[in-house]
Structure 1
Amino acid sequence: MTDPRHPHWVYDHGTEPDPRFTLANERTFLAWARTVLGLLAGAVALHSFRVPTADGVRVGVIAVLVLTAILCTIFAMVRWARVERAMRERRPLPAFSAGFILAGALLVIGVLLGFSLVL
């Protein structure tokens, strides 16, 4: 019998893990969602308040913030599913790489904002 939950490529494999682990995985996903909301709020604030004053830099920072938010959303969904499936199949959890991508994007944003202060 197949599990009625979606996505099937996650729930139709292995056995049900301890609910505490599944709930912890969901909390981690929600933490990434909060990060995405923060990135989008930053982009809206920069756009609304026209900060930094250099238009090209502002557009660049906003674009990087929005792109980072999109990528974080995708990574969060994929990571949730990979971790859930690994727990169901009693396999080691997948490596964590999304945090490094987020850190790199925040570094680029920081450099761009620092550059705007010099202008």
Structure 2
Amino acid sequence: MTGWRIRVREPAWRQQGKTPDYRFSLANERTFLAWIRTSLALLAGAVAIDQLAPNIAPQPVRIVLCVILSLIGASLAGLSYRRWGQMEAAMRRDEALPFSRVMLFMTIVVAVAAFTFAVLILVAR
């Protein structure tokens, strides 16, 4: 008996245009993986704050911060796959790569989180 196989439907955009140069596809994949690492870092930060820094803020504040970081990390993971597909589709059709506001949003989120935690660390002392 052979193992179970899960069939994942191939996206429609993979049938369009021509296959891009593999170097560009691999670069797009590396970018996707970097976004996934960022997502995991946000999740790890949320867990670390909850488990390793119980005195950084009152429990309700800490929980809200951890939930926000977790939700942003989960959202980023989903958006990263979507963005990877959009980039691949654009390369196949020889179109300009689509613009995304996600990078600006993530910059703001990380800056606000860093500032918030800096203030909490200073106040907790």
Task: Report the TM-score range of the alignment, normalised by the length of the smaller protein.
Answer: 0.7 to 0.9
User: 2:37 & 2:118 partners in 1: Cα distance?
Assistant: 25
1:43-82 equivalent positions in 2, closer than 5 A: 43-49=46-52, 50-82=54-86
Over the matched positions of the two proteins, sequence identity in percent amounts to 35
Question: C-alpha displacement at 1:105, in angstroms?
Answer: 1.6
Question: C-alpha displacement at 1:115, in angstroms?
Answer: 4.0
Segment drifting more, 68-77 vs 104-113: 104-113
8 Å CA contact 1:86–1:93 kept in 2: the answer is yes
Q: Does 1:27 align with 2:66?
A: no
Instruction: Give the one of 92, 112, 123 matched to 1:118.
Output: 123
TM-score, length basis structure 2: 0.82
Segment drifting more, 107-116 vs 54-63: 107-116
8 Å CA contact 1:61–1:113 kept in 2: the answer is no
Given residue 88 of structure 1, which amino acid in structure 2 is its aligned partner? R
- Which stretches in structure 2 are left out of the alignment for 5+ residues? 1-7
Aligned residue in 2 for 1:87:
91
**Which 4+ residue blocks in structure 1 deviate beyond 3 angstroms?**
none
User: 2:111 & 2:60 partners in 1: Cα distance?
Assistant: 18
8 Å CA contact 1:36–1:72 kept in 2: the answer is yes
TM-score, length basis structure 1: 0.85
